[in-house]
Each structure stands twice: as C-alpha cells, then as structure tokens.
Amino acid sequence: MRIAFITHRSPVPPNKGEKLRSFWQLRTLARNHTIHLFCFYDDLDDEQCLDELQRYCEDYYIEKLSYIGSRTRALLALLCGRPFSTAFFYSRRMARRIEAVLKAGAFDRIFVSSSSMAPYVGADNGIAKIVDLVDVDSNKWQQYANRKPWPLGWLWCLESKRLAAYESALVQQVAATLVCTDAEAQLLRSIAHTGVIRTVENHIDVDQYDPANVVVPRELQSWQPYMVFSGSMDYLPNVDAVGYFCREIFPLIRQARPDVKLVIAGRNPHPSVRSLGKDHSIKVTGRVEDIVPYISAAAVSIAPMRIARGVQNKVLEALASGIPVVSTTAVASALPPKLRSLVSTGDTPREFANHVIVALGERASGQSDHLRRQLKHYIEGLELDAQLENIIRQPGAEMSSAEPCHSVMAGSPA
C-alpha cells in the first residue's frame, strides 16, 4: 500500500523515546509498503541524518521547525481557546505540502504519530487514518499542573482540558487510535466515548544492547561505580526526576556508598540540571553519540519519575543491557505485568535509596542475563511487527481474542 507517514519529529536518528517508536514503525512499514514521510526537525543531529530516510521512504518532506514561529502559534492558540501543543507544530507550508500530495497521490492509508500532527489530516478525504497517540498527553499536562503553582499550574490545567476535548474528538474521527499500554487505553476510553483504541507496546531490539558487544570508553570506566539516568534533559518529567533524586535520595545513598557517582546522560540539559554537575559526584554529559555504553557500564539505572505517562524507554533500555532498575511506582505501573517484577520500586526517598544500595551490591552476570532473557522473551512474544501490519491492513476491524493486539471500542466494556 501507499502510506502517508506524518510525524512531528524526524524518526532518524532514533535517539530518544518518541523517535525510537516512530523509527520502528517507519522501518517496519517500509518492508511491505511505499512510504511518503512528512516531519519536522529542530536538531542538528536530525539534519545530518536526512540521507538515511531514503532507505525507508520513496519520498519525504522534512521542514525545520521555526523556534519563533512555533511559540508564536502556540501563544495565539492559547488566546483563541485551542490547545497550544497542537498549534506548536502547525506550519502553513507543511499543511499545503500534505494537502497537495494527498490530492495528487493515490494513498491507501494515513499514519499519524502524535496528536500534534493530526490537524494536518482533519478533512474527510476517504483515506483510512491511524493515529498513534503513544500516551494520553492531556493527562500529562494535568500532572504538570499538579506540580506547578499559579499561573503555570492554571495554564497547564487549561491545556489539559482543551487537549482532552481534542483527543476525544480525534478518536471518533479516525479508523484506529494507538497507545502504548493498556493503562493508557483505559484512560483514553474514559475521555473518548466511541472509536477503536488499540494497545501496541513499545518495541526494543534487545540484541542491540548486548553488553558483550559494547565497548565501554575509559572515561566511563573511571566513573564506575555509577548510577545512570538517561533521557532528554530538557523534558520536564526528567528535569523534575533528577532534581528530586539529587536533593532527597542521593544523600541517603552516599551515607552507605560514598564511592558511588551519578551520571545524567542526555541531550539539552536544562540549566537546573547542568548546575547539578557542580557536585564532583555527578556527571552531566549533555548529548552523547551513543547512549548504550553509558547504560551498559552503569551499576544501576534509576527512574525516579514523579510525572510519568506510558512506558519509559529508559527502563527497557536498561533491562535490555542487563542493568538492574530502581523506579517509582508511577514508572513501574506502566510496565506490562510480566515485566514489573524485574524492577524494584520505591516512592519515598528512603525506600528508593535502600533499593539502589541493595542493587549496587548485588549485580552479577547471572542477574544480567536473566533481565535480558526475560525482556527478549516478552518482546518476541508480542510479535509487534505483525500487530502493526494487521492494523495497517484492517485499521477499523476488531481483533479476535486470539490476536496479541488489544482492541476495544471506546464506550464498550473493557
């Protein structure tokens, strides 16, 4: 089939959570179908990898996201009573290009990654549309609101309400809506009253993280033993998580393990994150070429998120590397039930610190192999490639009970 694939950020390089998922989808669909890609980029890494898109796309249109324009449109949307997170990614040039291509080409499907890009295909053009929301973003904005004082708290709460109304209408207008966990599907069903909602879990190539094939640079070896926190460090939930960890949990760990360090590995560190690096025991890396060695060389991976939606890819990456994970319940509860037992959880600073201290003293090759084996067995059992192919071919059809993909009509019993 001919598929118009529309996403808010270039899938290459797949160096952050949202891009890991869209890259897997692009690569999987390109095996059997013809792909026309439309996306934005706002990072130099993305611009340098554009040629890689030719491996997966017959044609692509990629546009640099305007820093001033995106924020101006978001402000105007706020004043006009619309969600500013969808307006942030709106561009007249992008809209005209997508409209022209859809009119001129015989497309069989439109695949949209994120609610931010759904406005580009709002018109009823007779083409089946599949939208991957990944998470229920309206709820994430509400979580932001709960942690911010007025006026930001009020603003985020307003965005949550507006975006929830948009998500509800969107689910009813498309052939199928995808999310990454059953919990997200249940939450979305509480917002949308009709429409097909399906769970397609996050994919990870476990073999890519095999520690036997990872070369650990000497600098990382000199930091050992260390805990690692990985992710985009300009992302509010990550900024909040490392700030909380360094203030309230790390001091407790140091009492038992004064030798241990913390490595915060991720692009675009917020100024408050950079300032943490003044502590000689905390390394703030900024952008790294390859995150895998930083995870593989760690003694423990931490995910002290207090704001969380969907599955955290940092947890899957650590398990794929055979690294023990300590997280909050908010993070662990999003994992599939079969994987939750692989993660230690603590919701108070003392509980979290105690789990980290235990993990620092217990890591062994047998445990590493167990974590990797359990994750690989689970991912392979999902047959995610087949799930996605089935959805593309029959987006509005309900799945039989034998299928691994969960499909529930919003409004019907879960």
Which pLDDT tens digit goes with each residue over 311-367?
Answer: 889 999 999 999 999 999 999 999 999 999 999 999 999 999 999 999 998 765 568
Amino acid 396: pLDDT? 78
pLDDT band at 105 (very low <50, low <70, confident <90, very high): confident
Does residue 183 lie within any of the structural domains?
yes
Residue 412, pLDDT > 70, answer no
> What would the pLDDT profile of 147-168 be if each residue is shown by its tens digit?
888 999 999 999 999 999 999 9
**244 and 310 share a domain?**
yes
**44 and 144 share a domain?**
yes
Within 10 angstroms of residue 211's Cβ, the number of other Cβ atoms is 19
Does residue 79 lie within any of the structural domains?
yes
Does residue 252 lie within any of the structural domains?
yes
Calculate the average pLDDT of the chain: 92
Amino acid 48: pLDDT? 86
**194 and 333 share a domain?**
no
Backbone angles phi, psi at 130, to 5 degrees: -120, 130
pLDDT band at 50 (very low <50, low <70, confident <90, very high): confident
Q: How far apart are CA 174 and CA 166, in angstroms?
A: 13
Number of domains observed in the structure of the chain: 2
Does residue 414 lie within any of the structural domains?
no
How much of the chain, in percent, has pLDDT values that exceed 90?
85
Does residue 154 lie within any of the structural domains?
yes
**101 and 212 share a domain?**
no
Does residue 45 lie within any of the structural domains?
yes
Amino acid 211: pLDDT? 93
**170 and 225 share a domain?**
no
Residue 409, pLDDT > 50, answer no
Residue 406, pLDDT > 90, answer no
Domain with 7, as residue range(s), is: 2-205+382-409
Does residue 268 lie within any of the structural domains?
yes
Residue 216, pLDDT > 60, answer yes
